[in-house]
Each structure stands twice: as structure tokens, then as C-alpha cells.
Amino acid sequence: MATTDDSLLLYAEMSSAEIRAAQRRLREGALRRIAPGVVTSLSEENWPALIARERIRLLAALYPKAVIGPRSAFHGGGPVEGVMYLTYTYTKRVELPGLTVQLLDGHGPAQGDAPMMGRELYFPSTPRVLLENLAVSRGKVKKSVGRAAVEQRLIETCEARGEDALNNIRDQARALAPTLGLERELDILDTLIGGILGTREAEMSTAVGKAMTASIPYDANRLALFEKLAEVLRATPLGQPEAVVKSEQSRAHFAFLESYFVSVRRTHLEAGWFNGKDGVHQGDRWTPWNKPRRAPGAATTAS
């Protein structure tokens, strides 16, 4: 496709005639070569920013039908500490200006994977992300985030979307695992989900997960919030209102009266009564204090 923008020219997107024209300009010095099949008119100091801006387009052209790798996909699809992980047809580490691409030999696009920006670069489905990140990373390349991170993600998913979301993930993972050859990882995922849902025993790694599967389960996140509140209250001098009652007997009576009127107030609110300065609002009618009013549900007497 002909274009007037020559800041990034990708041979994979060009016709044979356009490629020959770009190669001629490259020999003349009008264009510069960033990588095989990638040329630009920009100076070298601008290349990192260019690659960051055009990352998806560039990777789709260089590695067609690649899938965002486990570690990058787990973190949303971008580079992790400057490294972009891609599942491709072979394993290789490629250095580009401002970006390292770690290619990992693995399965191509599978059911549920979605093309990014309509190009031949795919973002994996949630079940695939979780399964692949449970795989053991061997060697120097840490391609997966590990069991603890997946466990935390499952807990967050359950809290945000409910138990049905975890059941759906497990069902989809069961269908997908044989295709990817991740049956072992499926067993781990099934165990983690069962532990979170309380349907099976599971050895959890995170503090929150251990709390959920304890003999007496508790909410570790809420407990941390209450502890933080207690710390702030202990460390912050608070104003002390003047005592309403002075004696122990008066304090007992006052507590009873206070709780009684709070209960009455709640009953009136639930019945549609709202106290005002000059009267009471009952349903859609306003009754002054000095006029008789019937309680909600009372029968009307004919005059």
C-alpha cells in the first residue's frame, strides 16, 4: 500500500514494487534500516520512541501469527522490564532499539485468542494465559509468572466477578488444555479454583489464599483494612465530646432510650415516614405536626 508516511516502512505490508523503491532509497541514504524488512526515514535517536509507538504493527509484521507470551499477556500485553514475550515457531532473543523481544517456541493462535488491532498478532484467551503461566520456567528465560501470581489473579477474579467466572474459566481451560499440551497445568488450575471455591482441599501460596482455605476461613484483605484503621485510631488524637450523662444509672437508661429511638426511626423510614421540622412526610403527602395522621397501613374511617 502506497503511503506518504515513511517514518516506518514494513516490507510485509508493501508490494514488490514498493519494496524495490524502498531498497533504492535505502542505498541512496534517504532511509535507514532498523531490522530486516524494517526501514525508516527517522534518525537513530528516534527509533526507540518509534518502536514503542508502533510496537503491535511492527511485531505483527516481523512475527506473523505470533501470540503474546505468558508473562507479557499476564501483565496486559506489554513489555515486562523491557522484554516483550511472544509465543512463536522458535525460541530466540532479538534486540530492537528500546525493546527486547523474547521469542518462545510454542503453539500458535488457538480458540479464544483475539487479533490485536486487526493484525496477525494475537492476545491469548484468559484460560490460556492462566494455563501457560502455570508452566515451569526452565533455564534462564522466565517465561511464566508462576503459581502464586496465578492464584492471586484467580482470587481477584472471584472477588470482582463471582464464583461463576471461575467455573467458566475452568470449563474453557478443560477444552483448551489438550490442544496446548498443558494437561499438567490444568490439574494445578483445577486445584486452585477448587480451593478458592471451597470444593476441594488445596495448598495455597498467597496469604489471602491460605486465609480462604483455613479451618476457620477469614477475609485477609478486610482484616488488613481493620488493622490499618485500628493503627490510625490509636495514633491520632481525637476530639472528646462532652458526656451527655454523668452517672452509671443514667448511662444505662440513656443507652436504652438511644437504641429505642434509633429502632423507631428505622421503622418509620422503612414505612415511608420522614421526620421534618414542621411535619411528617408520609408517602406522597405532607402532614403538619398539629394535624392528626394515621399510621401506615391503618384503615381509613368513612366520615
In a domain, 283, yes or no: yes
| Tally of CB atoms within 10 A around 299 | 6
Please give the pLDDT value at position 8: 96
In a domain, 238, yes or no: no
Q: What radius of gyration, in Å, describes the C-alpha atoms of the chain?
A: 33
On whether both 131 and 220 belong to a single domain, the answer is yes
- Burial of 219-248, coded b for 16+ CB within 10 Å and e otherwise, reads ebeeeeeeeeeeeeeeeeeeeeeeeeeeee
pLDDT at 218 over 80: no
pLDDT at 298 over 80: no
Structural domain count, the chain: 2
* Residue listed under C-alpha cell 414542621: 278
On whether both 201 and 268 belong to a single domain, the answer is no
C-alpha cell of residue 237:
488524637
On whether both 215 and 279 belong to a single domain, the answer is no
On whether both 226 and 254 belong to a single domain, the answer is no
Please give the pLDDT value at position 302: 45
Q: Which residue has the higher pLDDT, 210 or 145?
A: 145
- Burial of 85-120, coded b for 16+ CB within 10 Å and e otherwise, reads bbbbeeeeeeebeebebbbbebbebbeebeebeeee
In a domain, 279, yes or no: yes
In a domain, 81, yes or no: no
Average confidence (pLDDT) over 231-259? 79
Instruction: Give the domain extent around 261.
Output: 248-288
In a domain, 252, yes or no: yes
- Contact yes or no for 157/212 (Cβ under 8 A): no
In a domain, 241, yes or no: no
Please give the pLDDT value at position 209: 77
In a domain, 207, yes or no: yes
Please give the pLDDT value at position 228: 84
Q: Point out the domain boundary residue: 231, 265, 296.
A: 231
Please give the pLDDT value at position 277: 47
Reduced DSSP (H G I as helix, E B as strand, rest coil) percent helix, strand, coil of the chain, to 5 = 45, 15, 40
In a domain, 242, yes or no: no
| Cross-sheet strand order for the sheet of 114-115 | 92-96, 99-105, 83-88, 66-68, 121-123, 114-115
On whether both 137 and 181 belong to a single domain, the answer is yes
On whether both 165 and 225 belong to a single domain, the answer is yes
